[in-house]
């Protein structure tokens, strides 16, 4: 029972001493989100173009579209694509998941953290995915390596928390396999992304230097672990100094010129510990340098691969003043073992 003489709240209201202000919370101060700005739906025979800054890390929804070209040149949080038919879709950089459901006969260029399809048919996917792509109850799904460039794309990858080197586009997991049939396949080597999708003829995109050409792509073209050219396998690792990404890209571009038959199969950007470094590099010489930050690792394979990689790596490192921040396999007898150790270690990190 309350005290009859207690007048705390009443007196406060009467005297004006009670704080009339309501508490303010951070979510009360956020700008209201208009979901229509982040939704494309019920569009037929149209074209939708989202420029940098228009999505800015929000969730995005695409649904019930037909014969429509949808270009999202910005970073997003997650994207769902439902019930779309014969559409062309570009999702430049998605931090989390891209989920395609009940779609058919679409061409998609997608970079994301996670990728999944369910109940999809006859889809052509050019993908950059940080984790293993998953298909479920889907058939006739064709996969190729993501290729795209525009001025802000590298920044959008960073804002989405994506690495251009962590791309598992060819390591597909099928949740619902059918015995004796393949629900998915990888595009042949001769396929070009420009044969499947084109960019709008827009002055804005021209100012952004937008391109689908492999040599301009922010994401390096990898052939995937399924590709086994004859010759040597070589591990090339670039250690952190703030320029390891630029050095790795310069190396990849130079190697294509130096030895076109030496192919880039896989790439990863990971954090290494001393024990992992000793296991991969077979020496403790790199124990201190791996602690500086992320390591970019490349698997190259082909004739005279080790010699070509060494020559290009030395030239790149010398030109950028970082000769002690690159490793190249030297012994063909253990180079494949080094490759397996590095990428197995990397895959364990992503599973974890």
Residue 138 annotated as part of some ligand binding site: no
Cα–Cα distance, 312 to 257 (Å, whole number) = 10
Give the H or E element holding residue 41.
strand 39-41
- In DSSP notation, 192-224 reads -GGGT------HHHHHTT-B--GGG-SSPP---
Q: Do the beta carbons of residue 264 and residue 215 sit within 8 Å?
A: no
What are the backbone dihedrals phi and psi of residue 297, each rounded to the nearest 5 degrees, phi first?
-115, 135
Q: What's the CA gap between 268 and 297, in Å, rounded?
A: 5
Q: Determine the Cα–Cα distance for residues 103 and 123; give it in Å rounded to an integer.
A: 8
Secondary structure of residue 248 in the 3-state scheme: helix
Residue 293, SS3 per DSSP: coil
Annotated binding-site residue? 96: yes
3-state secondary structure of 165: coil
**Inter-CA distances, 172 with 94, 266, 339, Å:** 19, 14, 20
The pairing of strands 295-302 and 263-270 is antiparallel
Host H or E run for residue 75:
strand 69-76
Cite the annotated binding site for GTP by residue number. Answer: 96-97
Cite the annotated binding site by residue number. Answer: 96-97
């Amino acid at each position: 029972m309350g005290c009859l003489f207690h007048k705390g709240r009443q007196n406060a209201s009467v005297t004006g001493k009670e704080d009339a202000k309501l508490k303010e919370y951070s979510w009360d101060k956020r700008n209201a989100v208009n979901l229509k700005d982040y939704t494309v739906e019920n569009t037929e025979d149209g074209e939708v173009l989202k420029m940098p800054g228009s999505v800015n890390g929000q969730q995005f929804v695409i649904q019930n579209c037909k014969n429509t070209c949808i270009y999202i040149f910005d970073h997003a949080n997650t994207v769902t694509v439902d019930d779309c038919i014969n559409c062309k879709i570009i999702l430049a950089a998605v931090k989390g998941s891209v989920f395609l459901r009940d779609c058919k006969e679409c061409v998609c260029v997608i970079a994301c953290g996670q990728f999944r399809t369910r109940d999809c048919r006859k889809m052509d996917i050019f993908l950059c995915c940080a984790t293993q792509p998953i298909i479920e109850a889907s058939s006739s799904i064709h996969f190729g390596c993501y290729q795209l460039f525009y001025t802000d794309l590298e920044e959008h990858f960073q804002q989405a928390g994506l690495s251009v080197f962590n791309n598992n586009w060819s390591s597909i997991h099928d949740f619902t396999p059918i015995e004796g049939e393949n629900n998915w396949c990888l595009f042949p080597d001769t396929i070009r992304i420009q044969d499947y999708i084109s960019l709008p003829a827009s002055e804005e995109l021209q100012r952004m230097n937008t391109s689908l050409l492999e040599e301009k792509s922010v994401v390096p073209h990898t052939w995937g672990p399924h590709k086994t050219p004859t010759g040597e396998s070589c591990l090339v690792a670039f250690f952190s100094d703030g320029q390891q990404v630029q050095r790795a890209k310069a190396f990849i571009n130079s190697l294509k010129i130096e030895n076109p038959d030496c192919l880039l199969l896989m790439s990863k950007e990971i954090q290494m510990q001393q024990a992992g470094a000793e296991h991969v590099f077979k020496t403790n010489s790199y124990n201190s340098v791996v602690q500086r930050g992320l390591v970019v690792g490349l698997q190259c394979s082909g004739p005279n691969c080790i010699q070509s990689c060494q020559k290009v790596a030395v030239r790149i490192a010398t030109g950028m003043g970082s000769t002690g921040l690159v490793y190249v396999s030297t012994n063909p007898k253990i180079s494949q073992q080094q490759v397996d150790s590095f990428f197995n270690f990397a895959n364990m990190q992503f599973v974890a």
